[in-house]
Amino acid sequence: MLRVESVVKSFGGFRAVDGAKLHVEGGEIVAVIGPNGAGKTTLFHLLTGHLSPDSGRILFKGKEIGGLSPHVICRRGITRSFQVVNIFSRLSVFENVQIAILSRERKSFRIFSPVAGMAEEEVHRILRSVGLFDQRDVESDLLSHGDKKVLEIAIALGGNPVLLILDEPTAGMAPGETERCIRLIRRLSEESGVTILFCEHDIGLVFEIANRIMVMVRGATVVQGSGEEVRRNSEVRSAYLGVSGEC
């Protein structure tokens, strides 16, 4: 479904992404891991149109999407959540998800119908599935950090995506919240079949739910495979553990 081929992105003289490769099949949960500064978030920005690749190809369902703008890529079926909390702070939880749905349904230019009850059923369904239903009328800026991260995911779900990209979904969460988030991701994949691509620092979490793992070091893909393959890969070990050679 998603194929990234030898993508390069530089800033000034610095190669943030240096020939990265990735492929994701439909229905999978794929994780991208790597040390800090490996280029994971930059890669995600390239996938969702916030940055354009200098070279290489990004193919989604067979079509090139590299360099398209974010709202176009969203319409193709890819939505994302952000590493830093990125919500509509003055709107309520309900409204945050609602406008994602309205945008998807191409109703964003309607000016004469009242918006109050629109898409209510779907918003409630999404909020219930992420566990934010009780807080639906709260102004989103007032939520706890963990809840805001969950709202991030809910907004991305509002776009009814084919591919859901989550950028460090559990960053800054307390352990209990992290647990909740893991279960949510697993449930989303099982129940709705949405393909999930995420990146994380919490390696335990990654090995727990990811079907396949891609490891990035200094902008390049070191290996992509199952948990076992990654664990055994010597380059990965040296990158993470500083150990060279066999172990």
- Binding piece for other proteins, criterion CB under 8 A, among 56-64, 86-94, 169-177, 186-194: 86-94
Strands (E), 25-141: 29-33, 55-60, 63-64, 78-81
Contact yes or no for 154/94 (Cβ under 8 A): no
209 binds other proteins, rule: CB under 8 A = no
What x/- string results for residues 3 through 42 when contact with other proteins is judged by CB under 8 A? ----------------------------------------
In the complex, least distance from residue 124 CB atom to other proteins, rounded to whole angstroms: 17
Cβ-based neighbour number of residue 13 at 10 Å: 5
70 binds other proteins, rule: CB under 8 A = yes
148 binds other proteins, rule: CB under 8 A = no
145 binds other proteins, rule: CB under 8 A = no
Q: How far apart are CA 215 and CA 197, in angstroms?
A: 13
Instruction: Rule CB under 8 A: choose which of 59, 118, 203, 223 binds other proteins.
Output: 118
82 binds other proteins, rule: CB under 8 A = yes
Instruction: Rule CB under 8 A: choose which of 2, 20, 38, 155 binds other proteins.
Output: 155
87 binds other proteins, rule: CB under 8 A = yes
169 binds other proteins, rule: CB under 8 A = no
Contact yes or no for 89/138 (Cβ under 8 A): no
Question: End-to-end CA distance of the chain, in Å?
Answer: 35
Instruction: List beta partners, residue 163.
Output: 78, 195
Instruction: List beta partners, residue 3.
Output: 23, 59
Phi, psi (degrees; rounded to nearest 5) at 28 = -80, 165
Nearest to 130 by CA among 146, 153, 104: 153
**Residues at the site binding other proteins, with contacts judged by CB under 8 A:** 48, 50, 69-71, 74-75, 79-80, 82, 86-91, 95-96, 98-100, 102-104, 107-116, 118, 139, 141-142, 155-156, 158-159
